[in-house]
Amino acid sequence: MFVWFHKLASPPYFYRLAGRLAPWLAWASLIVILAGLYGGLWLAPPDYQQGDGFRIIYVHVPSAWMSLFIYVVMALAAAIGLIWRMKLAHAVSAAAAPLGAAFTFLALVTGSLWGKPMWGTYWVWDARLTSELVLLFLYFGYLALHRAFEDQRSGDRAGAILALVGIVNVPIIHYSVKWWNTLHQGPTVFFGARADIAPSMYIPLFIMIIGFMLYFAAFVLKRLQVEILSRERHTAWVQELAGKP
């Protein structure tokens, strides 16, 4: 197990592995997302209260889920990078952050578009919405801080510390609808719990979440290849890969 872990942390090995896995994951994500969209937009019946307006959940909920999931991945990678000084772990955080910010922004936008017809307003300073906005600022802060240093190791360390400090916001987002009286509705479906919506509605939702996760994996692997080449550009194996003597 330790040998496999050590091998996976090798930039040349991981670069080649990412190149093999990314296309398969990308095609899988496309197929799964299309299946989820078909199930959510065409097969699922209209909601008895919200009508067809509820269908935005098939983008909003997976985006919100991914915004939290990616930040947890970033924080775990940051911890590994700080504790074991694994360069590849810092590269994972750097590769994941832009997509995490994109998913968080998409969750906020789709939530606002849903909120206008359902709540009568695009935005309220609700606990869930506000903490999700804070998450977006944490992503932006990481991206800015990571690039603020000429020395990459200093940028990696500063970004990792911010990612670890910001992890406290993740449970706040998740439990905000339970801890405070918020306008945002509580969870209607959760893994391992009884669903409050029909299977014809939540099965496409789970499929979309899986599709988004597959897309994230493919995206991160491709970005990791770029990160690895940038960080290892002066090494012999990258020079050989580029065809330089």
Residues sharing a CB contact under 8 Å with residue 227, sequence separation 6 or more, in sequence order: 91, 94, 95
Task: Quote the pLDDT of residue 188.
Answer: 57
d(CA 23, CA 25): 5
Q: Measuring CA to CA, which residue among 141, 117, 114 is closest to residue 128?
A: 114
Is residue 192 predicted with pLDDT exceeding 80? no
Confirm whether 2 is domain-assigned.
Answer: no
Task: Quote the pLDDT of residue 6.
Answer: 59
Task: Quote the pLDDT of residue 242.
Answer: 80
Confirm whether 197 is domain-assigned.
Answer: yes
Question: Total structural domains in the chain?
Answer: 1
Confirm whether 8 is domain-assigned.
Answer: no
Domain that holds residue 132: 14-241
d(CA 133, CA 245): 49
Task: Quote the pLDDT of residue 195.
Answer: 55
Mean of per-residue pLDDT scores for the chain: 90
Task: Quote the pLDDT of residue 228.
Answer: 95
Is residue 95 predicted with pLDDT exceeding 70? yes
Packing angle, helices 199-231 and 57-84, rounded to 10? 40
Task: Quote the pLDDT of residue 240.
Answer: 86
Confirm whether 41 is domain-assigned.
Answer: yes
Contact call for residues 30 and 210 (beta carbons, < 8 A): no
Contact call for residues 48 and 192 (beta carbons, < 8 A): no
d(CA 202, CA 86): 39
pLDDT digits (tens, 9 = 90+) for 200-233: 888 999 999 999 999 999 999 999 999 999 999 9
Terminal C-alpha separation, the chain: 36
Is residue 184 predicted with pLDDT exceeding 90? no
Confirm whether 4 is domain-assigned.
Answer: no
Confirm whether 142 is domain-assigned.
Answer: yes
Question: Hey, what's the torsion of the CAs at 166, 169, 170, 172, to 10 degrees?
Answer: 170
Is residue 160 predicted with pLDDT exceeding 70? yes
Task: Quote the pLDDT of residue 50.
Answer: 84
Mean pLDDT, range 76-88, rounded to an integer = 92
pLDDT band at 243 (very low <50, low <70, confident <90, very high): confident
CB burial of 43-52 (b: ≥16 within 10 Å; e: otherwise) equals ebeeeeeeee
Task: Quote the pLDDT of residue 206.
Answer: 95
Is residue 8 predicted with pLDDT exceeding 90? no
Rg of the chain taking only CA atoms, in angstroms: 20
Confirm whether 64 is domain-assigned.
Answer: yes
Amino acid letter, 61: V
Residue found under tokens 């099965």: 203
Is 64 exposed, middle or buried, given 0-12, 13-18 or 19+ CB atoms closer than 10 A? buried
Confirm whether 30 is domain-assigned.
Answer: yes
The CATH number of the domain holding residue 60 is 1.20.120
pLDDT digits (tens, 9 = 90+) for 13-49: 999 999 999 999 999 999 999 999 999 999 999 988 7
